[in-house]
A and B are shown apart, each in its own frame.
Chain A
Amino acid sequence: MQKTLDKFVIGESGVVKSVGGEGKIKRRLFDMGITPGAEILLRKRAPLGDPLEITVRGYELSLRITEAQCVVLEVRDETTAGEAKQ
């Protein structure tokens, strides 16, 4: 199942499929390691609900909901992970 990063619940993880957004934001997302194939875990939301904190390539990154909307991921859970292997 694919969905954008902002729709993730805390503790959910997935693999980046595509990154959209306007030039500057997209470039920044790329530079920080959010490229197709990268694994992302949504760790938490800030006390006021936004921004989000994720783990990507072994470190913590914060980004806003509007920026998270640019990132499309393939959700990784037990069932879909199993299917992907086959």
Chain B
Amino acid sequence: MKRFALAGNPNCGKTTLFNSLTGSTAHVGNWPGVTVDKRDGVYKKCAEPVAIIDLPGIYSLSPYTPEEVIARNYILDEKPDCVINIVDATNLERNLYLTTQILEMDVPMVIALNMMDAVERQGDKIDAKELEKRLGIPVVKISALKEQGLQELMDKAFNESKKERRGSTVLKDTPIAHLIGDVRIALSGQNVGNPLFHAIKLVEGDEIEVEMHKETLPMVEEFKSTFNDEIFGTDFEALVADGRYKYISKYFAPVLTRKSKEKFAATRSDRADKVLTNRWAGIPIFLVILFLIFHLTFSENFLFISTFANWAKSPLPTLEELGLLTAEGEPINYGVRWLATIYDGTIYSPGVIVNNIWNDMIVGELFGWIQGLIEGSGMAAWAVGLLNNGIIEGLGAVLSFLPPILTLFLFFSILEDSGYMARIAFILDRMFRRFGLSGRSFLPMIMGFGCSVPAMINTRTLADEKERTATVRVIPFFSCGAKLPILTAVAGAIILQFAGGSGNADLITYAMYLLGIIVAIVCVLLMRATTLKGETPPFIMELPAYHAPQFKNLMAHLWDKTKHFIKKAFTIILASTILIWVLTHFGFDWRFLEDEQINDSILAGLSRLVQPLFTPLGFGSQLGEYGWVFVLAAVAGLIAKENVISTFATLGACLIAAGVLPGFNADAIYADDTGIQAVVAMIAATNITVPGLISFIAFNMTTIPCFAAVGTAKSELGERKRFNWTLVFWIAVSYTVGAIVYTIGAWWWTLFIWAAAAAAVTCFIVFYNKGKIKLKFPKRAK
């Protein structure tokens, strides 16, 4: 099958084109070597099916950012049959800069001139025929969004792929043309592929090329030493870049005729930007948007309508007051069940409504039906237990987190697609620089609130290796959607058990989110001052024009996400759920145990073994006989954070069967979606204190994330050593944070000890960095 690679600037509509071309055949995989999301799919409407490969969005083929190196290596090493270079017609000059570089490679190529509709809307014109003549390769006008011109583009590309193309350069009028020519001939003589491209990069002094062609280097240096430009001196990189842009301005830019003579005319996007990044309003607007996102996703008090109703002394009636519930508190009919997903004395936010419909009306209904079938099937007791309590309950718990994750992801996709995300980075850069990061690292961090996996993949937009490492490490502290149920369940249980049911559980949840952010900031500061020292990375970033997010793209994003999550739910999480059920229902002698014999189970034994380690964190030895449930849940959480609460539910049912928890009902625990009852059961079994519980959630928030995230971190960090240290870092941070939270919560005066310790560490680092203190490390014998 022929392979066509899509190359272009970020934001040129590449993803849209890719989605339009490949439709449902697209799938996401990993690049060999450096792992970056690779997407490929199949286009079926050509003479024969063609594989479409989506390269990362890039501005240049410089050796400085990982995406650029990936795109460059793909074209050079994998030799696609044709490169489709997407050019954003609204931003012709800069887009063609990349084109001039790809032109230098010996690969068939066509230009897809995208966003022509936007150009024409402004009343401007682009002479595509003229551009085609001047570039010497086919140029096709397309609209990726409206799917116009795609067939013509693909036919042209298919046609080109049958021909051979030699690289050509726009640098032939520059003073270094003969130098490039000579190096090219020398490289051709050595049978190097793509001689023109390599020759130009060598002349530029490109780090990767210099490494690759050591034997040719002396020759290049000799040529270079005789050369001295009057403007650029011997700065060849500058000379080449300038040569490209000069050529573009002179020969390519004139194909564009602008209607308005005004060079910097204000567009609608500019007017929106005036407000959104306004000197005074910019930051408040950002905070309101952030609040709205979380409000729309999680609030059970939509737009505070019921609060206003209470103020107006006319509170909204609950379903019970309306007489719509039976004596048992169940809805009286099917219609009311639907109503209950939207309203019960308060109106729920859209995110909560979706969540309710999914959990109550779809998953709950389906799984209840399956469980009924299994119970009626006459299987052995242990098989029914494994299927119903182990697998189906576990899966149900996992699937119940899908709605909030997707809702959050939808909002972040809208921010990203609309162009506002880049402005957030712009607004916040100043603040982030203080921590040694750029405003750009904000994007992946805030994505961490949705899910760490896409967030970590997103860090590859950060050019600086150290900034990237620091960002990947702290992303899990931005509590992800799967950790939220741990927070809400434990917070709800604390209010119910220790505050008599009155109090604001949300406050605890928010406080934990805040704690995560503070821990992240402290850790970044610490790393940038010690192990990851370095210059603050540059912040030279395009601010794309605002545009309405495209429904099709959003849905494609969400579908990717859903597929990924469901796959995870049915593989790793399902496996771990089964494992936990087996470990809790078999003893060390591999004898099947009834629920009430859980104390003899393998997992109980293992957890008891490590339980003392968690004593400083408040959920270790002080909790007595059943204290290991917290250790076990934390361990299960390492496999997937969703497991923490579902483990509580399983254990709760086991302990009830064992007669440990009189007055508790296993069915009630399973029926409780919030997980609060499961935590309440754990509290009753262990007498854990509030500081212990808070420490437990703090520990879970900051410790090693789920396997999916760990795997992503491993591939994004690249080096094995760096990844191992990241694991150590996560364990150390979570242990410290848990210990701090517990000790201060239990004995407030320990605050002074921790403060003194923090001050001592800070002083030490400051003085050490100033060279006032020197550490003598014993030198290792070689």
Contacts and interface: CB of A to CB of B under 8 A. Distances in A.
Contacts of A44: 277, 279
B430 A49 contact: yes
Contacts of A57: 91, 93-94
B173 interface: no
Given A27-B64, A30-B241, A31-B59, A39 B263 contact: yes
B282 interface: yes
B245 A60 contact: no
Interface string A1-45: 000000000000100001100011111111111011111010011
B701 to A, nearest CB: 29
B541 A62 contact: yes
Contacts of A18: 231
Interface residues of B, number: 44
A33 B426 CA distance: 19
B91 A28 contact: no
Interface string A38-62: 1101001111111101010111111
B540 A59 contact: no
A63 interface: yes
Contact of B237 (A27, A38, A41, A61): A27
Contact of A46 (B242, B263, B277, B280): B277
Kindly name the residue among A13, A31, A38 whose own CB sees the greatest number of chain B CB atoms within 10 A.
A31
SS class, residues of chain A in contact with chain B: mixed
B64 A24 contact: yes
Interface string B223-267: 000000001000001100110011001000000000000011000
Contact of A61 (B282, B433, B543): B543
B719 interface: no
Nearest to A34: B540
SS class, residues of chain B in contact with chain A: helix
A75 to B, nearest CB: 15
B545 interface: yes
Given A47-B282, A57-B94, A28 B64 contact: yes
B539 to A, nearest CB: 5
B609 interface: no
A48 to B, nearest CB: 4
B64 A59 contact: no
B264 A31 contact: no
Contact of A26 (B91, B93, B94, B237): B237
B279 A47 contact: yes
Contact of A28 (B92, B94, B430, B540): B540
Given A25-B540, A27-B62, A33 B429 contact: no
A62 B426 contact: yes
B237 A51 contact: no
Given A46-B277, A62-B539, A31 B246 contact: no
B60 interface: yes
Contacts of A58: 90-94
Interface of B: 59-60, 62, 64, 90-94, 97, 231, 237-238, 241-242, 245-246, 249, 263-264, 273, 277-280, 282-283, 422, 426-427, 429-431, 433, 439, 463, 538-545
Interface of A: 13, 18-19, 23-33, 35-39, 41, 44-51, 53, 55, 57-64, 67
Given A33-B93, A50-B429, A51-B439, 7 more contacts: A24-B463, A27-B241, A30-B242, A35-B238, A45-B279, A57-B93, A63-B538
For the complex of A and B, the 7 pairs showing the least CB-CB separation, nearest first, are A30-B241, A48-B430, A31-B60, A60-B543, A47-B282, A57-B93, A35-B245
19 contacts: A13-B264, A26-B238, A28-B62, A29-B540, A31-B59, A31-B62, A32-B540, A33-B94, A33-B97, A36-B242, A37-B245, A47-B277, A47-B283, A58-B92, A58-B93, A61-B540, A62-B422, A62-B429, A63-B540
